[in-house]
């Protein structure tokens, strides 16, 4: 039987030249592909020596470093299941994740060690090792005495490779189970669709505890056997310095907004880049347009989620249409359905469902939840709402849980947000529904002012009047709050749940 371990799939494309770079660090230190192979071999040997068996979870809560990526690859090689956790998580979250996933090994930052030991012993996790932000610690020390060579454990397509917990903004966070086959399928599709080619250099500034930075960015590049400029986090000035050395950049929309705030950012900075990709949150049309006029580059926006990687993408060669996420990717079936489960015609909003080799196999230890989220014919209900445009591009209109029902009528926040965003002095906005005695929910807008005279002149009544002139009365916000910033998570997503908590009852 062939070995379908994702590492085996990727490593077939590792370049044979011993000096071929895989990671180029901030201080220009290079990790070659040969270094990555040896270091992952040592850690894989260590994990096996600890007594973990294929299928056991390896939970990892560390900052981004070369060693952190190597730990991911070592876990794959050893046949264990990689479970990355946001370093921001504290006691309450850790207790839930370790208690739920019961990993055989937990790798933590040294500053979290006392807490990690306590939670690990409560949850029955037998081993805790450390990896600090510079890539040192007891994990690396313990691996040092192990052999460099490791025969990658044979796995089949349907064996688990990773569990990624969803951000859980409503209810309990769920562990999305992804197989070797899921990850390999998406990496191959993206590699081809985005025309990855020898010599590409990816500017990697995303976190690696999330699908975007770990799977979309790393798996695709590793499958290409090319290099990544490996930065611990996004910082606009640093991105500007590195972009001339890059051919591809992947980012969340906030990265592009921040780059545009840099006065020196323009064509010259992007002279060697062939592709800018955006995702994980909606890219404002305004950002898309300004980026094109400043740099000459049309950002390629794509759409996906933890539960299956990428589902749709704007084309590489054809028209990249702002405000859309493009077409279903090869190998992923996308359908948009109305309340009765039947397909909606173009222009009509419905629930987005997906099916394909990349779509996850279920939520860890939640068979009922899993069954609820799949249709009888095997499509996953993404929880996103959207529509086809006249040419078959998918337009996302938000999460179904953000849909506002006021006086029995549906209001899609995006329609109102787009209208408010176009007003002079508005940087961006978030429209939410707040409990209301009469209407069930009241449409409410939280509006970020621009830092200029037009922004200072914004008023609640002015914004309400402007929307009233254009839209049906039931869509007009009952209240408008004018603020300086919206709360966002690490992936640049606006946290509407926090806004709902903050403004309820105000
Ligand atoms: P996550 O699982 O954290 O990657 O979040 C996935 C969710 O992010 C999706 O279900 C969408 O709601 C949202 N998302 C991802 N990409 C886009 C995009 N290009 N435009 C709008 N929303 C997006």
Q: What is the CA(431)–ligand 1 centre distance, in A?
A: 17
Question: What is the residue range of 452's domain?
Answer: 403-503
**CATH code, domain with 409:** 3.30.300.30
Q: What is the CA(351)–ligand 1 centre distance, in A?
A: 14
Domain for residue 413, yes or no? yes
Residue 491 has pLDDT above 90, yes or no: no
Domain for residue 276, yes or no? no
Q: Is 279 in the pocket of ligand 1 (CB under 6 A)?
A: yes
**How do residues 32-77 score in pLDDT, each as one tens digit?**
999 999 999 999 999 999 999 999 999 999 999 999 999 999 999 9
Domain for residue 68, yes or no? yes
Domain for residue 168, yes or no? no
**CATH code, domain with 36:** 3.40.50.980
Ligand 1: residue whose CA is nearest its atom 5: 305
Last residue of a domain, one of 155, 186, 221: 155
Our count of domains for the chain comes to 2
Domain for residue 73, yes or no? yes
Q: Is 281 in the pocket of ligand 1 (CB under 6 A)?
A: yes
Residue 168 has pLDDT above 70, yes or no: no
Domain for residue 457, yes or no? yes
**Interval 431-452 mean pLDDT:** 92
Residue 505 has pLDDT above 80, yes or no: no
172 pLDDT band (50/70/90 cuts)?
A: confident
Q: What is the CA(22)–ligand 1 centre distance, in A?
A: 28
**Tokens at residue 213, please?**
């930075």
Q: For the range 119-123, what are the long-range contacts, defined as Cβ-Cβ under 8 Å and sequence gap of 24 or more?
A: 119/91, 119/94, 119/95, 122/95, 123/95, 123/98, 123/99
What is the rounded CA–CA span in Å between residue 359 and residue 177? Answer: 10
**Interval 221-229 mean pLDDT:** 98
Q: Is 299 in the pocket of ligand 1 (CB under 6 A)?
A: no
265 pLDDT band (50/70/90 cuts)?
A: very high
Which atom in ligand 1 lies closest to the alpha carbon of residue 164?
2
Residue 171 has pLDDT above 80, yes or no: no
Q: What is the CA(334)–ligand 1 centre distance, in A?
A: 15
Q: What is the CA(495)–ligand 1 centre distance, in A?
A: 12
Ligand 1: residue whose CA is nearest its atom 20: 282
Q: Is 139 in the pocket of ligand 1 (CB under 6 A)?
A: no
What pLDDT, on the 0 to 100 scale, is given for residue 170?
Answer: 53
- Of 163, 164, 309, 493, which is best to mutate to test ligand 1, by the most ligand atoms within 8 angstroms of its C-beta? 493
Ligand 1: residue whose CA is nearest its atom 9: 305
Per residue, the 3-state secondary structure of 85-121, as one string, reads: CCCCCCHHHHHHHHHHHCCCEEEECHHHHHHHHHHHH
Q: Is 157 in the pocket of ligand 1 (CB under 6 A)?
A: no
**Tokens at residue 268, please?**
């010259």
What is the rounded CA–CA span in Å between residue 36 and residue 99? Answer: 31
Residues 6 or more apart whose CB falls under 8 angstroms from that of 438 comprise 407
> How many residues belong to the chain?
506
């Amino acid at each position: 039987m062939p070995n379908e371990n994702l590492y085996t799939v990727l490593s077939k494309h590792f370049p044979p030249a011993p000096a071929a770079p895989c990671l180029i660090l901030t201080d220009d230190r290079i990790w070659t592909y040969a270094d990555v192979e040896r270091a992952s071999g040592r850690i894989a040997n260590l994990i096996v020596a600890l007594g973990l068996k294929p299928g056991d979870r390896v939970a990892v809560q560390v900052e981004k470093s070369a060693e952190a990526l190597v730990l991911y690859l070592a876990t794959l090689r050893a046949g264990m299941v990689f479970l990355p956790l946001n370093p921001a998580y504290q006691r309450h979250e850790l207790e839930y994740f370790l208690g739920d996933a019961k990993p055989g090994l937990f790798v933590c930052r040294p500053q979290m060690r006392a807490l990690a030991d306590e939670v690990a012993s409560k949850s029955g996790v037998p081993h805790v090792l450390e990896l600090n932000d510079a890539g040192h610690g007891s994990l690396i020390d313990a691996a040092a005495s192990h052999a460099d060579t490791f025969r990658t454990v044979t796995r089949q397509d349907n064996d688990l490779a990773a569990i990624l917990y969803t951000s859980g903004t409503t209810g309990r966070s769920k562990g999305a189970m992804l197989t070797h086959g899921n990850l390999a399928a998406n990496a191959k599709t993206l590699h081809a669709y985005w025309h990855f080619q020898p010599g590409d250099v990816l500017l990697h500034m995303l976190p690696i505890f999330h699908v975007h930075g770990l799977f979309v960015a790393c798996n695709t590049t590793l499958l290409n056997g090319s290099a990544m400029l490996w930065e611990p986090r996004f910082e606009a000035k640093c991105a500007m310095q590195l972009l001339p050395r890059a051919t591809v950049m992947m980012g969340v929309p906030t990265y592009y907004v921040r780059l545009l705030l840099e006065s020196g950012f323009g064509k010259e900075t992007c002279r060697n880049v062939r592709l800018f990709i955006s995702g994980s949150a909606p890219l404002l049309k305004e950002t898309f347009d300004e980026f094109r006029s400043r740099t000459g580059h049309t950002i390629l926006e794509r759409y996906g989620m933890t539960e299956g990687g990428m589902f749709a993408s704007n084309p590489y060669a054809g028209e990249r249409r702002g405000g859309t996420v493009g077409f279903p990717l090869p190998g992923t079936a996308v359908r948009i359905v109305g309340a009765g489960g039947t397909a909606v015609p173009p222009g009509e909003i419905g629930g987005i469902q997906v099916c394909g080799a990349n779509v996850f196999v279920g939520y860890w230890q939640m068979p009922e939840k899993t069954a609820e989220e799949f249709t009888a014919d095997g499509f996953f209900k993404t929880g996103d709402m959207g529509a086809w445009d006249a040419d078959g591009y998918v337009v996302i209109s938000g999460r179904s849980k953000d849909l506002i029902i006021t006086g029995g009528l549906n209001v899609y926040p995006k329609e109102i947000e787009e209208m408010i965003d176009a007003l002079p002095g508005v940087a961006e906005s978030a429209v939410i529904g707040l409990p209301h005695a009469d209407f069930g929910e009241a449409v409410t807008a939280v509006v970020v002012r621009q830092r200029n005279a037009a922004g200072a002149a914004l008023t609640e009544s002015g914004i309400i009047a402007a929307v009233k002139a254009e839209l049906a009365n039931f869509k007009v916000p009952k209240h408008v709050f004018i603020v300086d910033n919206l709360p966002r998570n690490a992936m640049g997503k606006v946290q509407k749940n926090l806004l709902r908590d903050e403004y309820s009852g105000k």
